[in-house]
């Protein structure tokens, strides 16, 4: 299996390589791709060193799968060229997610809709993935009518530049800034760019992508906030169902769902935190309680490592599904 990783030197790209290695993905040939400034650099995979190549060379080598994490513009330009060469592209940017003929996939929910004809597959937004992982089993049982979600998103979601800014602030070093405000000891209600509506692009992703993945038409309202942590994204989620529910049944549904870890015991102070989600592929759910201000209301707290299940792991799981179902 010939695999290209486009954006191999970025935070998600590096995590993709790590996840491929950890999961013993059947890579017979690795093609790491990065921008011109990375020319001559190398990456290590399965104790072998590979030299970074340019994207056109990667296309010419006709990989079986290309895992993309190089930004929307790169994806829009080059994903179709890989597809024309017979490569299946799994893209981590927002470029293809809401295009009607492109599948937006979380394997535990909707991978069964994939076919050999799908040569470009979109990986959802990191915050979206953990949200739908927790809510889909509940929706199937109780029918969700409305979702209000507030996110507390790791600075790693912005990229290396933001992580360096935070580290510089903690060490009293002046340097290049990803944000016009301090990150450390601060919360910045600004993820991605602002639109005319006053919402950011990140908030719009959270309000639209879940419905495409779950094949629903749920009303969703979102506020996305950047916080000075590196372990993962956290979400405070308020859900209103059509049907009544019992909390014990909700907990059992979540505990029995693949990829979900229930951490919900106030007596022992057990609840999800990004510090302990870091490096893990599961989605952690806790602080489960009824919202008595509305009919059939529920509150949850959802945490996941945004670089893993929120990006790299989900993309690799899509690739695994394609191979297992002989779609490649």
**Active centre residues (catalytic):** 126, 233
Distance CA 73, CA 71 (A): 6
Residue 28: which of 18, 38, 20, 40 has the closest Cα? 20
How many CB atoms neighbour CB 95 within 10 A? 20
Place of tokens 């952690």: 284
Q: What is the DSSP string of 177-230?
A: -SSSS--TT--B---S-B-TTS-BHHHHHHHHHHHHHHT---EEEEEEEEES-S
Nearest-10 Cα torsion for 177, 191, 131, 66: -70
Nearest-10 Cα torsion for 78, 82, 83, 87: -150
Residue 286: which of 127, 206, 274, 278 has the closest Cα? 274
The answer to whether 209 touches 128, Cβ cutoff 8 Å, is yes
Place of tokens 């991978």: 111
Instruction: Give phi and psi for 67, each to the nearest 5.
Output: -90, 115
The answer to whether 216 touches 138, Cβ cutoff 8 Å, is no
Q: Are strands 283-291 and 260-262 parallel, antiparallel or unpaired?
A: parallel
Q: Express the helix, strand and coil content of the chain in percent, nearest 5 each.
A: 35, 25, 40
55: helix, strand or coil? helix
- Sequence length of the chain is 328
């Amino acid at each position: 299996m010939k695999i290209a990783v486009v954006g191999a030197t970025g935070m998600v790209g590096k995590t993709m390589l790590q996840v491929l290695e950890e999961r013993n993905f059947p890579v017979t040939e690795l093609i790491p791709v990065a921008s011109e400034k990375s020319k001559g650099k190398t990456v290590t995979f399965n104790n072998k060193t590979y030299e970074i190549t340019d994207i056109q060379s990667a296309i010419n080598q006709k990989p079986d799968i290309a895992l993309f994490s190089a930004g929307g513009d790169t994806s829009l330009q080059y994903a179709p060229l890989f597809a024309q060469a017979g490569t299946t592209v799994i893209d981590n940017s927002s470029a293809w997610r809401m295009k009607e003929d492109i599948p937006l996939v979380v394997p535990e929910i909707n991978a069964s809709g994939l076919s050999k004809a799908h040569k470009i597959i979109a990986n959802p937004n990191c915050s979206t993935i953990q949200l739908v992982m927790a809510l889909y089993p509940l929706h199937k049982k109780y029918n969700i009518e409305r979702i209000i979600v507030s996110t507390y998103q790791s600075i790693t979601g912005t990229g290396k530049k933001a992580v360096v800014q935070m580290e510089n602030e903690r060490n009293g070093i002046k340097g290049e800034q990803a944000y016009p405000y301090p990150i450390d000891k601060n919360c910045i209600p600004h993820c991605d760019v602002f639109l005319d509506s006053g919402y950011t692009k990140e908030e719009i992703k959270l309000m639209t992508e879940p419905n495409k993945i779950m094949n629903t038409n749920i009303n969703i309202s979102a506020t996305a906030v950047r916080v000075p942590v590196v372990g993962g994204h956290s979400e405070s989620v308020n859900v209103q169902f059509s049907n009544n529910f019992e909390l014990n049944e909700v907990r059992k549904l979540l505990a029995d769902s693949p990829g979900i870890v229930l951490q919900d015991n106030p007596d022992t102070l057990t609840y999800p935190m990004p510090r302990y989600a870091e490096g893990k592929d599961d989605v952690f759910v806790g602080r489960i309680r009824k919202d008595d201000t509305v009919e059939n209301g529920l509150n949850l707290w959802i945490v996941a490592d945004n670089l893993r299940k929120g990006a790299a792991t989900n993309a690799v799981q899509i690739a695994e599904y394609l191979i297992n179902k002989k779609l490649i």
